[in-house]
Amino acid sequence: MRHGEIQRFTFLERIVHWVVGLSFLFLLLTGLAFSHPRLFWLTTLAGGGATARILHPWMGVAFTVGGVAMFFLWIRDMRIDAADREWLKAIRYYAVHDKARVPAAGKYNAGQKMFFWTMTALGAAYLVSGVPMWMPGGVLGVGPFYGGIVNAMRLVHYMATVGGGLLLIVHVYLGTVAYPGTLGAMLHGSVTRGWAKLHHPRWHGKESGR
């Protein structure tokens, strides 16, 4: 935490975030490599196709474990309330940086909460559709999944990937270049007061004791 700043994420939260985030990035890139021949070269980053195929499901395990931890860490803050519904109504002003017309957000704005819940749903989809592809011969007495099940799961897995990929673009864009100062929250854990006031005024107020 930097001097004069407000603590936004604990050490544990930051660890969990990066476990989930980096594994997701790996999964996304290798997954896209498996799905799009033009991107197969990406597997080279993971040690080649065969290694990528071996690592992908294990990385999925890391993603799942991190995701579950994250879920329980943050769920208390992710309840969507009346204020969030107001916020959502004004999302088009949010998109064009017209903060004056956006209702004041708490620690997480409604968009972040939606991101949380969507990623939770996608995470479940990755898990359910991923396991049959990981172990098509069957696991724990269930299976085999060869044929129609694997093919259907492959479709589900891919569609979830596209959804996750789009969310990631938004997430990374907003968290880095669009809102300077955000990344620091996930690196050293704190944000400036100005940042807090701008993006999360109600939370800023609470943290400032007002």
Partner 1 sequence: MAQLPASGLAIRRMSASSTPAPGIRSEGPEYAKLVDISRCIGCKGCEIACKEWNELGIEPTENFGSFQSHRDLSADTWLLMRFTEVEVGGDVAWFIKKDACLHCAEPGCLFACPAPGAIVQYENGIVDFNQANCIGCQLCVSGCPFDIPRFNPATRKVYKCNMCIDRVEAGLEPACAKTCPTNAISWGTKEDMVALGERKVEGLRARGLANAVLYDPPGVGGTHMMYVVPHGDQLDQYDLPADPTAGAGALAMLGTVRKLGASALGLGLLAAGLHYLGFGPQVPEEDAK
Collapse the DSSP code of 14 into the 3-class scheme (helix H, G, I; strand E, B; otherwise coil) and give the result: helix
Show contacts with partner 1 in window 67-96 (CB under 8 A). Answer: 95-96
Show contacts with partner 1 in window 99-128 (CB under 8 A). Answer: 99
> Can you read off the two tokens belonging to residue 183?
């990344």
- Catalytic residue at 200? no
Instruction: Give 34's Cβ-side CA count (13 Å radius).
Output: 22
Residues 192 and 64: their CA atoms lie apart, in Å, by 32
Q: Where are the alpha helices (DSSP H) in the chain?
A: 11-35, 42-45, 49-74, 82-89, 91-95, 110-134, 148-173, 183-187, 193-199, 201-207
Q: Which helix (H) or strand (E) holds 7?
A: strand 6-7
59 CB-near residues (< 8 Å, 6+ apart): 23, 26, 27, 30
CB of 48 to partner 1, least distance (A): 8
Q: Should residue 169 be labelled a site residue for partner 1 when binding is judged by CB under 8 A?
A: yes
CB of 118 to partner 1, least distance (A): 14
At how many degrees (to 10) do helices 110-134 and 49-74 cross? 140
Judged by CB under 8 A, the residue of 65, 73, 80, 198 near partner 1 is 198
Show contacts with partner 1 in window 128-167 (CB under 8 A). Answer: 133, 136-137, 145-152, 154-155, 158-159, 161-162, 165-166
Please choose, from the candidates 128, 174, 165, 143, the residue with its C-alpha nearest in 3D space to the C-alpha of residue 35: 165
Judged by CB under 8 A, the residue of 91, 142, 170, 187 near partner 1 is 170
CB nearer partner 1, residue 9 or residue 74 = 9
Stretch that binds partner 1, among 67-75, 83-91, 109-117, 177-185 (CB under 8 A): 177-185
Check 36, 97, 171, 199 and give the catalytic one. 171
Footprint on this chain of partner 1 (rule: CB under 8 A): 32-38, 40, 43, 49-50, 52-54, 95-97, 99, 133, 136-137, 145-152, 154-155, 158-159, 161-162, 165-166, 169-170, 173, 177-181, 192-195, 197-199
Catalytic residue IDs: 171
